[in-house]
Amino acid sequence: MITRLKQRMIEQSGLKNIHEKLENGARLAEQDALRLYEVRDLNVLGLLANIIRERKNGSRAFYILNRHINYSNICILSCQFCSFAKKRRDAGAYEFTIEEMAGKTSQALQLGITEIHMVGGLHPSWKFEHYEEMMRAIKSIDPKLHLKAFTAIEILHLAWIGKLKIQEVLERLRTAGLDSLPGGGAEIFSQRVRDQICRGKESAEEWLDVHRTWHRMGGRSTCTMLYGHVETIEERVDHLRKLRVLQDETGGFTAFIPLPFHSENNRLSHVPEPTGFENLRNLAIARLYLDNFDHIKCYWISHGLKLAQVSLSYGVDDIDGTVLEEKIYHMAGATTPQEQTAAELVKAIRETGRIPVQRDSLYREIPVPPISIPCNDRRYNGEKYWCGSGSKR
C-alpha cells in the first residue's frame, strides 16, 4: 500500500496506468518504457522502481569481494568510445604475464575475495592455449575462487583464433576454470549506433548468441548497456527489450548493469557525458522494465559511490564490489578510487538504511562475522558501527 501523497504524485505524473500494471504484476510494454523516459519527476520514477526493488530484494543491498584483472589493453579493434585499447607500439600498451596475474590473484585472496573478473583487449598474437593457461593458473591458486571472464567479443575472438565453434570455446574454457561470463561489450544493440561507436565489433545477434549458448550449457552471465552517447531513447528501450527476450528464453542472466559513457581520451570526447539525473532515471526504468531480472547493479566505479548509494532508492539492489584495480573507466576519465574496502561498501549501504549482504557471484549470501567500523559521522555520536551481517550492536 502506498500513501495518498505518493498516489497523488503518480497521478500528477500521468503514470497511473503504469502504476496499476506494476501493482498487478503485469509486464510493461516498450511504449510504457518510452513514456517513463518522458517523466521529469525523478522521485516518481524512484518511487515506482523502489516498489519492484523491495518486492524482489526487500531492503537488502548486495556487494561482493572481487578483484578485476584487465590482462592486456592491446586490442585489434578501435572502438570510438574506448580509452583503454592501445596498439602494441603505443605508449601505455601493456600485457600482464601469467605470473603477474597469479600474483595479483594471490594477493587479493588475502583480502578475502571470492571472484576474479577478468577481461581485456583482443590481443593480436596470443594463442587460444594462452587463455586456457591463464585460467588454469588462476584457478589452481584456489579452486573455490569464481572466475568471471571474457566478454562476448573476446569469446568470438577466441573462436576465431582457435578455429572453434562458440560452444567449443566455452566448453574448453569451462574445463580450464571459467565459471561465468561478464556482461561487457554489449554497448547498444542498434546497428546504427554500433556503426558510429564501435564499427567492426560483433553484432547484437552475435553478442546475444554467445550468452544464449552459455546459458543453454547451464552457465550464468550478466549483461550491460553502455549509454549516454549517440543513442536515442528508442534504441535504449530496444536494447532492454532484446535482453528481456533472451532472459525469457534462458533465464541465465543474474543482473543488468547500465554503464554511463565516460568521454575522456577517446574519439567521442566531444559527446557530453550523462548527468546524475540521467543515470538515476536509467537505473529506475531498467528496474521497472526488466521484470524478469532479479538484480539491477549500479557499478560504483562508473557512477561514483555517492550516486550508487542514492541509487539504492531508485531500483538498484547491488553496488558491485571491492574491484581493487580498474583500468577501463580510469583511462576514460573516471575520478572514482580504484578500490573500496568491504568496510567502506558496508558503511555506504548502511547509511542508506539498507541491509548490506555480502554475496557470491550467483547472489548467494555469504555469512560474514560482524566487522566494526570506526564511524566518524557525528550523527552516530561516536558509536561503534557494526557491519557485515547487517546488525548494529
Residues at the interface with ligand V47 (CB under 6 A): 81-83, 151, 182-185, 187, 222, 224, 226, 257, 259, 261-262, 266, 299, 320, 328, 332
Compute the distance between CA of residue 361 and CA of residue 66 in angstroms, rounded to an integer: 9
42's grid cell: 525523478
Q: Report the residue number whose CB is nearest to ligand V47.
A: 184
Shortest CB 62 distance to ligand V47, Å: 12
Q: What contacts 153, CB < 8 A, 6 or more positions away? A: 77, 122, 185, 201, 202, 207
Shortest CB 92 distance to ligand V47, Å: 15
> Judged by CB, which is closer to ligand V47: 261, or 289?
261
Q: What contacts 356, CB < 8 A, 6 or more positions away? A: 61, 63, 345, 346, 349, 350, 387, 388, 390
> Judged by CB, which is closer to ligand V47: 134, or 259?
259
Type and span of the H or E element at 320 = strand 318-321
Shortest CB 81 distance to ligand V47, Å: 5
> Judged by CB, which is closer to ligand V47: 19, or 215?
215
> Judged by CB, which is closer to ligand V47: 13, or 302?
302
> Judged by CB, which is closer to ligand V47: 266, or 358?
266
Compute the distance between CA of residue 179 and CA of residue 181 in angstroms, rounded to an integer: 7
Regarding beta strands 385-387 and 371-373, do their DSSP bridges make them parallel or antiparallel, or are they unpaired? antiparallel
> Judged by CB, which is closer to ligand V47: 80, or 389?
80
Shortest CB 102 distance to ligand V47, Å: 22
> Judged by CB, which is closer to ligand V47: 28, or 323?
323
36's grid cell: 517513463
Shortest CB 130 distance to ligand V47, Å: 21
Shortest CB 361 distance to ligand V47, Å: 9
Burial of 34 (0-12, 13-18, 19+ CB in 10 A): middle
Shortest CB 203 distance to ligand V47, Å: 15
Helix (H, G, I), strand (E, B) or coil at 223: strand
What is the C-alpha R_g of the chain?
A: 21
Question: 158, 163, 164, 162: which is closest to 181 by C-alpha?
Answer: 158
Shortest CB 16 distance to ligand V47, Å: 35
Helix (H, G, I), strand (E, B) or coil at 182: coil
> Judged by CB, which is closer to ligand V47: 184, or 388?
184
> Judged by CB, which is closer to ligand V47: 10, or 118?
118
Burial 312-330 (b: 16+ CB within 10 A, else e): bbbbbbbbbbbbbebbbbb
User: 241, 285 in Cβ contact below 8 A?
Assistant: no
User: 116, 138 in Cβ contact below 8 A?
Assistant: yes
Shortest CB 19 distance to ligand V47, Å: 30
